[in-house]
Amino acid sequence: MLGKLNHVALVVPDLAAAADEWRGRLGASVSAPQALPEHGVTVVFIDTGNSKIELLEPLGEDSPIARFLDRNPDGGMHHLCFEVEDIIASRDHLLAEGARVLGDGEPRTGAHGKPVLFLHPKDWAGTLIELEQV
Ligand code: CO
């Protein structure tokens, strides 16, 4: 069921500054910022060849990552995203295995325009897991 690691997401307090760090100090290839008001975030993607790093900055008043930044003012790792072929089959399999899916369990459209679901961090050593159908 588990496919490739699609990206590792980091929440940052200042997206432009973080993009400059990755571009300038690491020579990384950083995408243009993309505002996703329906998700309450602005994102850039960094292509690492075998995977991607997603940098997330809160957007708007009730951004779902604002609380994360309150607890981690310097930013930090927010989630891992794995590819799956069939998100509904993956969800049903995980639920049958006793894993918890966040929200109402219905996939939403993620940053790449593809269906995504999130798994409860308490089931995965405190790590939020995103599944993306590719
Ligand atoms: Co993500």
- Give the pLDDT confidence of 53-90 residue by residue, as tens digits: 999 999 998 898 999 999 999 999 999 999 999 999 99
Query: What value does the mean pLDDT take over residues 29-52?
Result: 94
Q: What's the mean per-residue pLDDT of the chain?
A: 95
- Amino acid letter, residue 62: D
**Which residues contact residue 131 at a Cβ distance below 8 angstroms, ignoring those fewer than 6 apart?**
81, 82, 83, 84, 87, 90, 91, 116, 117, 118, 119
Q: What is the pLDDT of residue 3?
A: 96
Tell me the mean pLDDT in the region 90-116: 93
Distance 88 CA to ligand 1 centre (A): 18
What's the full length of the chain, in residues?
A: 134
- Which pLDDT does position 39 carry in this prediction? 87
Radius of gyration of the chain (CA): 15
Residue 13 has pLDDT above 90, yes or no: yes
Query: What integer pLDDT is reported at residue 101 of this predicted model?
Result: 97
Distance 27 CA to ligand 1 centre (A): 22
Give 101's DSSP letter: B
Task: Give the 3-state secondary structure of residue 64.
Answer: coil
Phi, psi of 83 (to 5 degrees): -80, 140
How far does the centroid of ligand 1 lie from the alpha carbon of residue 54, in Å?
Answer: 7
Q: Using CA atoms, how far apart are residues 22 and 26, in angstroms rounded to an integer?
A: 5
Give the residue numbers marked as catalytic.
130
The CATH homologous superfamily for domain 5-133 is 2,3-Dihydroxybiphenyl 1,2-Dioxygenase, domain 1 (3.10.180.10)
* Band of residue 113 on the pLDDT scale cut at 50, 70, 90: confident
Would you call 90 helix, strand, or coil by DSSP? helix
Give the pLDDT band of residue 131 (cuts 50, 70, 90): very high
Q: Return the amino acid letter for 44.
A: V
pLDDT > 90 in the chain, percent: 90
What's the DSSP call for residue 38?
G
Residue 83: how many other CB atoms lie within 10 Å: 17
Identify the CA nearest to 115 among candidates 78, 89, 86. Answer: 86
Mean pLDDT of 92-119: 94
**What pLDDT, on a 0 to 100 scale, did the predictor assign at position 110?**
83
What spacing in Å lies between the alpha carbon of 51 and ligand 1's midpoint?
12
